[in-house]
Amino acid sequence: MKRKKVTLEQGLYLAGLIAFCLGMPFLFWYIPQVDAGVLPPCMLNRYFGIYCPGCGGSRAVMALIQGKFLDSLYYHPLVLYGAVLYLAFMLSQTVALLSRGRLKGLRFHQWFLFGAVFLIVLNCLIKNILKFCFGIDVL
Amino acid sequence: MDNNSYWNQKQQEQNGNFSQQAGPVQNPYQPRQNGESGFAIAGMVCGILSILCCSWMIFDFLLAIPGIIFSIVVLVKNYAGKGMAVAGLICSTVGLFLSLVFLAILVMV
């Protein structure tokens, strides 16, 4: 019997489900750690005053969980971008799966990932330029 | 009539030439050839996450090293998604470098 080939979107949907199953316990561990302030601070920011590409990520995740979308966007735009893309992809693929292919789900495009890289670079540059050129500490 | 023969006929009609044998024509509705680009996607996702999590050193190594491996596999084996593999390699390397810098600071201070 010929095996049915798994499409890219089906593979990504499965990866998304696995990420959800692994991510939920991680979030349950992570939120109390952030609330208690026991996570180590960013070394680059602490000793050199430079914002690293991940600075603001924890605050953005916490803001997103509390439903403060604009705050999340302000702290680190990648978190909201990733959450929106993830939800859109998973929900549309679930609908496509339930409708047995009558409705099409969101298709993966490589520009989604290049967009994420662009956001990381832009966020890091803007925060550091604001801090060192204009003296504005955004975090 | 299957899709390929339909598109061959369409091509002949557009060329105004019904007598000549047309070569194989690319069917625009053919499914994407993306069998191996999963490696490129995995490499790039690992790279992006490794940059984001660069302050969590051990966790970052677990992301950056597979990211580098996936990207190299795509480049060496000539799989689809070379642009993403290059981007994934750069992101993973940057993430790993930042993580090593953090580790060095932690050891020295």
- Of the candidates A43, A47, A78, which has its C-beta nearest B52's C-beta? A78
CB contact under 8 A, A113 and B51: no
At residue B6, the pLDDT reads 52
Taking residues B16-34, what's their average pLDDT?
47
Cβ within 8 Å of A, B 11-50: 31-32, 34-35, 37-38, 41, 44-45, 48
Q: ipTM surpassing 0.85, yes or no?
A: no
User: CB count, 10 Å around CB of B79?
Assistant: 18
d(CA A125, CA A130): 8
pTM over 0.90: no
**Each residue of B43-94: pLDDT tens digit?**
999 999 999 888 887 888 999 999 999 999 999 988 888 899 999 999 999 9
| Residue B23 pLDDT exceeds 50 | no
User: What band does A76 get if pLDDT is binned at 50, 70 and 90?
Assistant: very high
| Residue A111 pLDDT exceeds 50 | yes
| Residue B29 pLDDT exceeds 60 | no
CB contact under 8 A, B91 and A78: no
| Residue B4 pLDDT exceeds 60 | no
Which residues of chain A form beta strands (DSSP E)?
none
Residue A45 CB-half CA count within 13 A: 18
Taking residues A72-83, what's their average pLDDT?
94
Q: Sort out which chain A residues have CB atoms less than 8 A from B38's CB and list them.
A: 8, 11
CB contact under 8 A, A57 and B52: yes
Q: Sort out which chain A residues have CB atoms less than 8 A from B105's CB and list them.
A: 43-44, 47
Taking residues B96-101, what's their average pLDDT?
90
At residue A21, the pLDDT reads 94
d(CA A115, CA B29): 27
User: What band does B18 get if pLDDT is binned at 50, 70 and 90?
Assistant: very low
| Residue B35 pLDDT exceeds 80 | no
CB contact under 8 A, A117 and B38: no
